[in-house]
Amino acid sequence: MAGLLAFQSGCVERAEEGAAERGVLQAVLDRQAEAVLTGDREAYLATVDPRADGYRDAQRTVFGNLARLPVDHWSYRVTATGDDAFPLPRDTDGTSGGEGGGEREAGPRRIAVRAELRYRIEGYDPAPVRDVEYLTLTERKGRWYVSSDSDGAPGGRRSAQQLWEQGEMTVVRGERSLVLGVGRPEFDLRALADDADRAVPGADAAWPRDWPRRVLVQAPATLERMAGLLGGPPSSYRGIAAVTTGEAGGRGRTPAERIVVNPEAYWLLGEEGRRIVMTHEVTHVATRAHTTESTPLWLSEGFADWAAYREVDRPPARIAPLLAGAVRDGEVPRRLPTDEEFAFAGDADRLARSYESGWLLCRMVAQRWGEEKLVELYLAAGGADGGMDPVVREVLGTGMDGLTARWREYVRRELDER
């Protein structure tokens, strides 16, 4: 009995010590968050390890970038510490993975911290955006500092960086847009803001429902940096001019959408091409509040394309050249594309045909049943827990089989140029 009581007493003491230490670590992050909100550079750097030279230099840039943004919420919540957060690399200089320089010291205490970051950009985020931070904190002379944010990431790099962590950032404000760029001349970013400003009315005309009518656009320096923002491999986005976070299988990632521009593809487009791409992406922002896991991608991507091409005076065969080629060869698609066929990492031609199919479906619904019915179908699809068939019957008066049959005939009729 005495041994059991001693064991229980030891467990309680260790738990209390752990809670106290966790409180100290939380306090460090609270001070850093307060410094972001008040714009206090010295207070921010006071939370950063003075011996982690590389990390400290990077954090000077991060703070300068954040100071340019209208951030009205920034907070951390420690969710795990120690091995429960992530295993720390084994070194003894206290700089975690070679971030530091200068004089080495014998084994300062380090601890891994996993924290939830919540932030909101005023005017663009309807609710705080959440991210996970993997931080290393180091104790020096009885005081704790943040010394790394990469030790917990595979390969020593964070898998989904924020743009303000990718280098010195330029901020351009448009009438309806906020453009953030790294490694791009301000002239390009100003043009990007103009593209976004022009796209908002087009998306608004196609989606006559309440939405913020403001968009946040990010312009990273490279395709690799774009992939870092989106959390996927660079090959997934090669040839894709722009992506809205949450698009094509990643829906629901954040309560706010960011349009991310591919620097290798977007700037190769002409003025009309940029307008089409930007209107497509802005439409995703407009419809996001009503887009759920129940919304099929042939509808969400098809609607965005329908909005983008709505005022374009081109024959359908020029907008859907791959499907047109298939129709000329007598190969009318038998079904609408699955969500998997919209994957960026898949076959490029199959991806293009999927987008063309969704566009023609939405164009057909708008022409046959009316644009308001197309919007009603989109709204209803977001709550389609029982599948699309009952939704289509309720809104259009036919089932999915009937809708598909009409779509196949429409594809053949609109694209067969023989």
The number of folded domains in the chain is 3
pLDDT at 157 over 70: no
Tokens of 134: 């993997």
pTM: 0.86
Q: If you average pLDDT over every residue of the chain, what do you get?
A: 88
Domain presence at residue 2:
no
* 5 belongs to a structural domain: no
**Which of 246, 271, 289 is the last residue in one of the domains?**
289
pLDDT band, very low/low/confident/very high, at 386 (cuts 50, 70, 90): confident
Say yes or no: 285 and 316 in one domain.
Answer: no
| 102 confidence band (pLDDT: 50, 70, 90) | very low
Q: Are residues 199 and 298 in the same domain?
A: no
Q: Does residue 1 lie within any of the structural domains?
A: no
In this prediction, residue 373 carries a pLDDT of: 98
pLDDT, position 99 = 41
pLDDT digits (tens, 9 = 90+) for 317-344: 999 999 999 999 988 999 999 999 998 8
* pLDDT above 50 for 226: yes
CB atoms within 10 A of CB 143: 12
14 is a domain residue: yes
54 and 148: one domain?
yes
Domain C-terminal end among 110, 132, 159: 159
- Same domain for 138 and 182, yes or no, is no
Regarding whether 315 and 378 lie in a shared domain, the answer is yes
Q: At 95, is the pLDDT very low, low, confident or very high (cuts 50, 70, 90)?
A: very low
Q: What percent of the chain has pLDDT over 70?
A: 87
Q: Do 152 and 165 fall within a single domain?
A: no
Domain span at 66: 10-159
Residue 3 lies in a domain: no
> In CATH, what number is assigned to the domain containing residue 92?
3.10.450.50
| Domain CATH number, residue 200 | 3.30.2010.30
Largest distance between two CA atoms of the chain: 94
Same domain, 142 and 187: no
In this structure, the answer to whether residues 16 and 33 fall within a common structural domain is yes
Look at residue 4 and tell me if it is in a domain.
no
On whether the CB atoms of residues 206 and 285 are closer than 8 A, the answer is no
Out of 237, 272, 289, a domain closes at 289
Amino acid 247: pLDDT: 45
Do 64 and 107 fall into the same domain? yes
Instruction: Looking at the structure, tell me whether residues 34 and 67 fall in a common domain.
Output: yes
122 & 165 share domain: no
Could you tell me the CA-to-CA distances from 362 to 10, 21, 140, 370 in Å, in that order?
66, 57, 62, 10
Please indicate, yes or no, if residue 112 is contained in any of the structural domains. yes
Q: Are residues 306 and 263 in the same domain?
A: no
